Amino acid sequence: MSTTILMFAAALGATAATSPPPLRVQPELTLDAANRLAAGAVAACQRDGRAIVVSVLDRGGHLLAVQRAESVGPHNIEASRRKAFTALSTRTATLELARQAAANPDARNLNTLPELLLLGGGVPLTVAQQMVGAIGVAGGGGAANDHAYAQAAIAAVAELDQPGINP
């Protein structure tokens, strides 16, 4: 019987040694990083003589930062948030997602989901390929501009993975 108990204990020990830890450690998007992203997007659009709204969400979809230039229409506040949410939820830049939906009849129905917005300007935010949030830009003069301003913001925060999609 003691041999059976020892074998059972050894099997339990082997299982415990190879099983994953009970909690995962993930990087978090901080308020400071969100504010730096927003400032980076605003600075990029100002260099082009434009004005935008920028929203930054954490990985749970919660708003961390939003900035709106005085001259940008109020509807762009919600548009920037929804672009960020779409990028977060789909793990895809919204410019790429919009292009995929236009080319693929099966993907076109994504625009019927209430929170998704298939317009360029939303980009996922990752650190070491782990999702930490998303940025959304609206009001910058078109989807390609909004996307470029979001990418410029990400480039200004070195701790984030740098996206590779260009308009």
Q: Could you tell me the two tokens for 46?
A: 């100002």
- pLDDT tens string 56-105: 999 999 999 999 999 999 999 999 999 999 999 999 999 999 999 999 98
The encoded tokens of residue 15 equal 């299982």
Q: Provide the residue ranges of all domains of the chain, joining segments of one domain with +.
A: 27-155
Task: Give me the pLDDT at residue 17, please.
Answer: 56
- Distance from the Cα of residue 30 to its chain's centroid: 13
What is the C-alpha to C-alpha distance for residues 41 and 31, in angstroms, rounded to an integer? Answer: 15
pLDDT mean over 8-21:
57
- Mean pLDDT value across residues 34-48: 97
Over residues 23-52, the mean pLDDT reads 95
pTM for the structure as a whole: 0.84
pLDDT for position 114: 87
Q: What is the pLDDT of residue 164?
A: 62
27 - beta bridge partners?
Answer: none
| pLDDT score recorded for residue 87 | 98
Amino acid making up residue 40: G
CATH assignment of 27-155? Answer: 3.30.450.150
Cα angle 47-51-52, degrees, rounded to a multiple of 5: 115
Q: Rounded mean pLDDT of the chain?
A: 89
Instruction: Extract the runs of DSSP E, i.e. beta strands, from the chain.
Output: 53-58, 63-68, 122-127, 130-138
